[in-house]
Amino acid sequence: MNIKTILSALILSFGMGAAAQAAEAGVAIEKQSWSFAGIFGTYDENQLQRGFQVYREVCASCHGARLIAFRNLAEAGGPGFSEEQVKALAAEYEVADPAADGGFRTAVPADRWPSPFATEQDARDANGGALPPDFSVLAKARGVSDPFPFWVFNYFTGYSEGGPDYIHALLTGYHDEVPETAPHNSDGTPFELAEGKYYNDYFPGHAIGMAPPLQDELVTYTVAEGEAEVPLTVDQYATDVAAFMMWMAEPHLAGRKQTGFVVLLFLVIFAGLMYATKRKIWAGIEH
Amino acid sequence: MSEHSTYTPGNGVEKWLDERLPIIRFSKEHLMDFPTPKNLNYWWTFGAILVMCLGIQIVTGIILAMHYTPHVSMAFDSVEHIRRDVNGGRMIQAFHAVGASMFFAAVYIHIFRGMYFGSYKAPREILWILGVLIFVLMMATAFMGYVLPWGQMSGWAATVITNIFAAIPVIGTPLLELLRGGFSVGNPTLNRFFSLHYLLPFVIAAVVALHIWALHVPGNNNPTGVDVKDSRDTLPFHPYYTMKDAFGMVLFLIPFVWFAFFAPDILGHPDNYIQFSSTVTPAHIVPEWYFLPFYAILRAIDFNILFIDSKLGGVIFFGGSIVILFFLPWLDTSKVRSGNFRPMFKWFYWLFVINFVALTYLGAAPAEGIYVVLAKICTAYYFIHFLIVLPLLSRIETPRPLPTSISESVLSKSHA
């Protein structure tokens, strides 16, 4: 009965918790390498700017981001836009304001991202009855479930990128036609897509209401002089927008991890000093 | 054990105070001089760790309540507001959410330590009962707290758990409506849960005070389970155990901050980042991990027992699995406290632990196929352990010889 056993008991108790997600194994999702993963993870400014461009030019026509304010785009640890850029960007948008003439006015950096639809019903009417989910915290509302025993390791690696991994997989998981790998119905008949649905490997039930939103060369990235060309592929767009969505859900991730590292380091050293003090006090006591 | 005061008021003010409210005398007796067995291991530091956990939850919770809005249309966004816009809010929120899990991790270790070393046996029955009461209050508090962010799991947990009460005959439906404040989970539910979630931690703190009082009458149990014989068996609480407990607390904070800073969402469920909708049911409704063993017992009863239908049966077993803990001091009648000296008990103890972990796993597994059968077996064994194994062991087991005193066992250990 020593510290080692205490630690293993702690590990055991968290292992029990992991069972919650273990029960939901689905189609295996390929994990991507993200700059914001791990203890020292931070967002890649260029990637967030590209992801923002994809969001703005492609996704934003249907998907809102009601918790994101224009000012967030200029905050530390984010896409790194300047205050002027954000001001100019906001000025391109109109937001609803009951106090303004006609109920609308030009947006300012303090405003939230305007929703593409006035009401949920409008959104459903425009999308064949399906509701395009808001992007604000969507990257944290999705996840990847690892089979036993692999989820146990996630508690030690701190794997928290299941959301962007799922989003990347979803955006690259479309098929033009129902593939042969599609599951059969319970009565053995082949999988059939309902009218207005698309086949996706990773969407639960495989029939998704969203048409494939990305295609190669859909968005033109501007590359600064002397920097490497970024491929204009679905895979690249999916990666960039998934990273941007993670930033929307966790805008302060980098700062959080930086503080965490300092706190952890402090605690480890402090624990060492405490242990030395404890030994000193207990020295000479048979126990 | 309260007649060991060495306190003499140091000056006139202390003397004046001592004759009116002997609070310094009390503190010296109970926080500093209190004779504590010298052989307590690190499992005994979890008492102090739990006090720290309660403190963290209360302090972070009070601050969160300053920024949180208990309304169905604003609760979800107000939690995000705390994370995004409140100074330090993301850390306070993460510590509160992760803190709930850490609190339960610590309390399970504390309970299982008590079970192994027989800390519930005479003269510590009241101490144990108060502990079970704290555990029940913690579950109620944690459940209501989990509802407050108003995500999908919040709302559906509230729906499923309040539904349990509807199974109770006669008073079930009125009770259900009282809990929800209406016919379905809605704004009144959220408001009363918020109110009670703020109240109950202070009730817990009060019962903790009683728990510590009940500890300080007979004094600590210890790994040998042998009573303290004389002063050679004990050390003053300060500086020996204040130091050891403080070290234990710092050590416990390391996994705590690991989760809070590097994986604050890993102990939760992604669905709780979707705002609650009473018309969209999540694919799996899973409670927080610390409820899973009892949730597995609730679900395991899917058959009617005579005139009792399966729903009420589940509630009876669910309630029974916790109520039975109150009776543990009288179910285990062995005179030997510590599992270290009970060769048969030791095996059944670990079997019970494995069974409990299995119930946790099954609580998260889908209720289909082999899981249903396993859940029934594990549920049955949970009760068999308390109702058959423990009473029987007390009769048939021959315990190993006990050391005559704590100091003797300590000396023989260090010379071995």
Is A67 within 8 Å of B80 (Cβ atoms)? yes
**Residues in chain B within 8 Å Cβ distance of A286:** 38, 407, 410-411, 414
Q: Give the model's pLDDT for residue B317.
A: 96
Q: Which of A227-231, B228-232, B275-279, B321-325 has the lowest mean pLDDT?
A: A227-231
**Residues in chain A within 8 Å Cβ distance of B257:** 260, 263-264, 267
**Residues in chain B within 8 Å Cβ distance of A256:** 90-91, 94, 261
Contact B261 A154 (CB under 8 A): no
Which residue of chain B comes nearest to A266, CA vs CA? B254
State the nearest Cα–Cα gap between A9 and chain B, in angstroms: 7
Q: Is the pLDDT of residue A172 over 50?
A: yes
Range of the domain at A227: 18-68+113-251
Flag whether A58 is in a domain: yes
Flag whether A260 is in a domain: no
pLDDT band at residue B184, thresholds of 50, 70 and 90?
A: very high
Contact A10 B260 (CB under 8 A): no
**Residues in chain B within 8 Å Cβ distance of A141:** 270-271, 273-274
Residue type, B220: N
Give the residue from A2, A3, A21 with the most B CB atoms within 10 Å of its CB, the best one to mutate: A21
Residue range B372-398: mean pLDDT, rounded: 97
Note the pTM of the prediction, 2 decimals. 0.92
Q: Residue A103 gets which letter from DSSP?
A: G
Q: Is the pLDDT of residue B288 over 50?
A: yes
For residue B80, give the nearest of A10, A15, A67 by CB distance. A67
**Residues in chain A within 8 Å Cβ distance of B90:** 252, 256
Contact B258 A264 (CB under 8 A): yes
Q: Residue B10 gets which letter from DSSP?
A: -
State the nearest Cα–Cα gap between A221 and chain B, in angstroms: 29
Q: Name the residue among B51, B80, B66, B55 with its Cα closest to residue B265.
A: B80
**Residues in chain A within 8 Å Cβ distance of B414:** 286
Flag whether A176 is in a domain: yes
Residue range B297-318: mean pLDDT, rounded: 91
Flag whether A90 is in a domain: no
Q: Give the model's pLDDT for residue A1.
A: 45
Is A153 within 8 Å of A31 (Cβ atoms)? no
Q: Is A33 on the interface with B (CB under 8 A)?
A: no
Give the residue from B102, B237, B250, B276 with the most A CB atoms within 10 Å of its CB, the best one to mutate: B250
Residue range A101-127: mean pLDDT, rounded: 93
Percent with pLDDT over 70 in chain B = 98
DSSP string, A24-86: T--S--PPP--TT-STT----HHHHHHHHHHHHHTGGGT---TT-BGGGGGSTTTT---HHHH
Flag whether A214 is in a domain: yes
Residue type, A171: L
Q: Give the model's pLDDT for residue A24.
A: 35
* Angstrom distance (rounded) from CA B383 to CA A206: 43
**Residues in chain B within 8 Å Cβ distance of A2:** 41-42
Q: Name the residue among B284, B288, B393 with its Cα closest to residue B341.
A: B393
Contact B250 A286 (CB under 8 A): no
Which residue of chain A comes nearest to B269, CA vs CA? A21
Contact A259 B261 (CB under 8 A): yes
**Residues in chain B within 8 Å Cβ distance of A39:** 262
Residue range B55-77: mean pLDDT, rounded: 97
Q: Is A160 on the interface with B (CB under 8 A)?
A: yes
The more confident residue out of B340 and A25 is B340
Give the residue from B108, B222, B240, B261 with the most A CB atoms within 10 Å of its CB, the best one to mutate: B261
Q: Is A271 on the interface with B (CB under 8 A)?
A: yes
Flag whether A42 is in a domain: yes
Q: Name the fold adopted by B40-281.
A: Cytochrome Bc1 Complex; Chain C (1.20.810)
Q: Is A115 on the interface with B (CB under 8 A)?
A: no
Total number of domains in chain A = 1
Alpha helix stretches (DSSP H) within chain A: 3-22, 45-57, 83-91, 120-126, 150-157, 162-171, 234-249, 253-282
Residue range A47-67: mean pLDDT, rounded: 96
Contact B243 A12 (CB under 8 A): no
* Angstrom distance (rounded) from CA B291 to CA B305: 25
For residue B289, give the nearest of A1, A20, A270 by CB distance. A20
* Angstrom distance (rounded) from CA B77 to CA B71: 10
Q: Give the model's pLDDT for residue A196.
A: 87
Residue range B20-43: mean pLDDT, rounded: 95
For chains A and B, what is the number of CB pairs under 8 angstroms?
A: 164
Q: Give the model's pLDDT for residue A146.
A: 83
State the nearest Cα–Cα gap between B387 and chain A, in angstroms: 25
Contact B266 A155 (CB under 8 A): yes
**Residues in chain B within 8 Å Cβ distance of A133:** 274
Give the mean pLDDT of chain B: 94
Is B98 within 8 Å of B260 (Cβ atoms)? yes
Q: Is A267 on the interface with B (CB under 8 A)?
A: yes
pLDDT band at residue A287, thresholds of 50, 70 and 90?
A: confident
pLDDT band at residue B42, thresholds of 50, 70 and 90?
A: very high
The more confident residue out of A188 and B358 is B358
Q: Give the model's pLDDT for residue B308.
A: 87
Q: Give the model's pLDDT for residue A85.
A: 96
Is A50 within 8 Å of A95 (Cβ atoms)? no
Q: Is A260 on the interface with B (CB under 8 A)?
A: yes
Q: Give the model's pLDDT for residue B2.
A: 45
Query: Residue A174: which H helix or E strand, with range?
Result: strand A174-175
State the nearest Cα–Cα gap between B211 and chain A, in angstroms: 23
Q: Is the pLDDT of residue A145 over 90?
A: no
Residue range A101-120: mean pLDDT, rounded: 93
User: How does pLDDT run across B219-269, given as a tens digit for each residue?
Assistant: 999 999 999 999 999 999 999 999 999 999 999 999 999 999 999 999 999
Contact B289 A267 (CB under 8 A): no
Q: Is the pLDDT of residue A17 over 50?
A: no
Residue range B34-49: mean pLDDT, rounded: 96
Handedness of CA A110, A114, A200, B154 (dihedral sign): positive
pLDDT band at residue A219, thresholds of 50, 70 and 90?
A: very high
The more confident residue out of B269 and A9 is B269
Residue type, A79: P
Residue range B45-52: mean pLDDT, rounded: 98
Residue type, B344: M
Q: Is the pLDDT of residue B19 over 50?
A: yes
We report the CATH number of the domain holding residue A216 as 1.10.760.10
Q: Give the model's pLDDT for residue B205.
A: 98
**Residues in chain B within 8 Å Cβ distance of A1:** 41-43, 223
**Residues in chain B within 8 Å Cβ distance of A17:** 101, 267, 288-290, 292, 360
pLDDT band at residue A286, thresholds of 50, 70 and 90?
A: confident
Query: Residue A199: which H helix or E strand, with range?
Result: strand A198-200
Q: Which of A182-186, A248-252, A276-280, B379-383 has the lowest mean pLDDT?
A: A182-186
Contact B261 A264 (CB under 8 A): yes
Contact B261 A278 (CB under 8 A): no
- Domain positions in chain B are 1-33, 40-281, 287-406
Percent with pLDDT over 90 in chain B = 89
State the nearest Cα–Cα gap between A217 and chain B, in angstroms: 32
**Residues in chain B within 8 Å Cβ distance of A12:** 357
Q: Give the model's pLDDT for residue A228.
A: 84
Which residue of chain A comes nearest to B359, CA vs CA? A16
